Structure 1
């Protein structure tokens, strides 16, 4: 994920919530595969905390998303 982010954002610009534009102006969403698990769990509170964390990020950080999920 980090490699994709670095390569695609080179000469472009990073956005919020895992979005970026490459040097040609094409938008990409770079998200970890674990994100589906974190957002689709049975505990709505955990999923809400993950979404809240996503809204504060530019490039998504797997460790911080997992922390948000596990936090009580």
Structure 2
């Protein structure tokens, strides 16, 4: 018998809090000259929606970078 894991629903307020946190982190990266790519943005959105935890988000980001599925691109001024 297979186990089905269902993510616990988060409140609208929690979703908005997560969105602010992600946007602040994204802004900090932009100020340093780096830009996220689509793989990381998709993971960010799932975190905001409550589909994955912060720990899951960190793991996915690390794994994506290690597997060269995404890259932080340095933007030269």
Task: Give the TM-score range, shorter chain.
Answer: 0.3 to 0.5
Give the TM-score of the pair, scaled to structure 1.
Answer: 0.36
Bigger Rg, which one: 2
Q: Structure 1 or 2: larger helix share?
A: 2
Q: Structure 1 or 2: larger strand share?
A: 1
Give the TM-score of the pair, scaled to structure 2.
Answer: 0.35
